[in-house]
Structure 1
Amino acid sequence: MKWGKALNAKVEETPEWSPYFLNFKSMKKELKAVKEMNSRGVEFKERDLDMHGLTTRESDSKEKLLKCTTDAIVPFLDKLNAEIATIETFFVATLTQLEKKLNEIERERRASDDEQKGVLALREINRSLNALEEFSRLNYISAAKILKKLDKSMESEVKTIYITEILNVQTFHTALSSTLRNLSERVDAILSAGSDVFMANSGSDNFNKNARQRSNNARDLNNDVETTEVLRHVSLCVPLRRTDGELEVLVVTENDGSPHLVKAHIEAGETSVEALLREMSELAGLAVGQERNVGEYLSTTKKNTVYYAYTVVVERELEDWPMATTVRRRWLQIDELISELEDNTGVRVLRKINESPPI
């Protein structure tokens, strides 16, 4: 499915937020105007870029952007900045409102000493925080994709500079690993206190601990989600290497489909590590070592599916392996992959890895 249609389907899940999503269709039209202006050789007497109040990484970030653009690209970036500013304003206002509500509920619970007080409101806050995380992810991907289209059509190099200087320093991106995560963990700690959410039967793996023992990664577990259904267990593998100091991740493409991280369904009698090693060898053709557990993730999109996420260090890429004729391997910088990947669980895992790289 094309990104525009996939984005619209997601936007429809929170229609009241639709005016605050990046208007991907409008930006594609703007891109056509850029091409037309460029073909006519349009030039402006004064080249300036309206930042619409956006935070920038450096004081000269605007100048860096202007240096890598033609006159025809400037109006496109003006429009994109306005879209990002709308996203940023809505995200900050919504996050502030949710934090205020949570503070009020916590004060009321302490005053009444009632463990059930505000539970419904807390669950609503939790749903809003999850939606806000998805809002951030979708808009980040949309911006990255439209910039990629710009670079491709104009043979420019705007995407990398824009993401580094503008996109990566906006609150709707940076708050995911700070304020939003902190709020989510506070909510999860209250909702999960005193109750076991699920016990994962994972062979010899040390994953079947209760929710109280998971405080460090409560957000990743989404452990306010209770289920009596049988859970599917999947290993999610993140092969890593460093090239010229940059952290890179290997993704695979099967039968010319979309690139994705390697996932291994855990078979009967198998541990999650054994499943990981099997799939690394059979699907990706990799000899790996130094596996490290990243965490346990309850999928927000696949019903009753738990991902056991690992990083592995690639020791050798095999030239011949069982899926060699249908699978392609590709190395991407971790920031680039975060902006491109459409799998929500994969993005959450990559962001956690990026916060504390194992190599």
Structure 2
Amino acid sequence: MRFFFKTDYNQDINLFRDGVDRFWYGLLILALLVAPSVLEDFYLGEISYVFVLSIIGIGLMLLTGFTGQVSLGHAAFLGIGAYTHAVLLSHGAPFPVSMAAAALLSAAVGVAIGFPALRLTGIYLAIATLAFAFIIEHVLIKWESVTGGFKGFPVERPEYFGITITDDIPFYYLSLFCLVLAVLAALNLLRSPTGRAFIAIRDSEIAAQSMGVNLARYKTTAFAVSAGFTGFGGALFAHKIGYLAPDAFNILLSIQLLLMVVVGGLGSIHGAIFGAMFVGALPQAIAIGRDYLPETIARQPGLEPGLFGLILVFFILFEPYGIYGRWLKVKLYFSLFPLYKKATFKKQKSYTKSERNR
């Protein structure tokens, strides 16, 4: 078992805890860089999809996992980013400009939604964001002159220096690069006063307000930042699916995104990535499992959303800390073995003094 002795205040805000972490993360990046030379195109496409989901998951994690604001409408921000990027590309905008515009427009819409929802919490906030998702879906359907309505909207395949960046290998590296940028941006945000204010609001709004945190300002900022990350991921998502249609950004997608952060582990950037790996692999697992199920069950049209809901319920009941929380328990088990006690992670009621009279 390793013990960490802090001798510098900067150790609390360093990106890596020690040299061991730097080694393993560096090895992971190296493995991802050489993966296209040993993997087939199908697996590269699936990994790229996980990268895109991870960027979107980081955006939702900043809002739900670190600020405590539940959202069932992030498919709308994803759609705004995807359509903005695709429309600008069709009008000849450079690829980086259209991606930046997708993130900025999504963030602006996040401010417009976050400010009126300041007085809402819990299930009421979830209902409000769900209504917003329905509104955006209908806007995408009715605004045919821009979005194409039900006919859909083709996504351009930009080419630079003779390389089409949406091909398998270039898109893999592009998604990896964007994911690294998103992770670094999120980690630096969480180390800043703004990120610490987000966490304070999540833990106790009353305590945060008593310490001088402006709830309206930081909740609105959380919505804007979360929507910006999601819109940024939406630009890559547009290239992944290749052809945009309003029904691709429905309530089921919002539930999948929420499932991703809950199953991965709320309150952790690692959790967003683990959740993206889980959600990205689950449809393939279901498709394989259909071959071994009775025909009457395998042909049920609602099998996939039903399993998503069932898995979400099971994780909330039996593993509320998600996959990343389970991984931490496994690491601690082997660190303390054979002195590990079963009650180490026994769930106990906890609250701050400011919440005792609520």
> Per the shorter chain, which TM-score range?
under 0.3
Larger gyration radius, structure 1 or structure 2: 1
TM-score by length of 2: 0.27
* Structure number with higher relative contact order (C-alpha < 8 Å, ≥ 6 residues apart): 2
Structure with the higher helix share, 1 or 2:
2
Structure with the higher strand share, 1 or 2:
1
TM-score by length of 1: 0.27
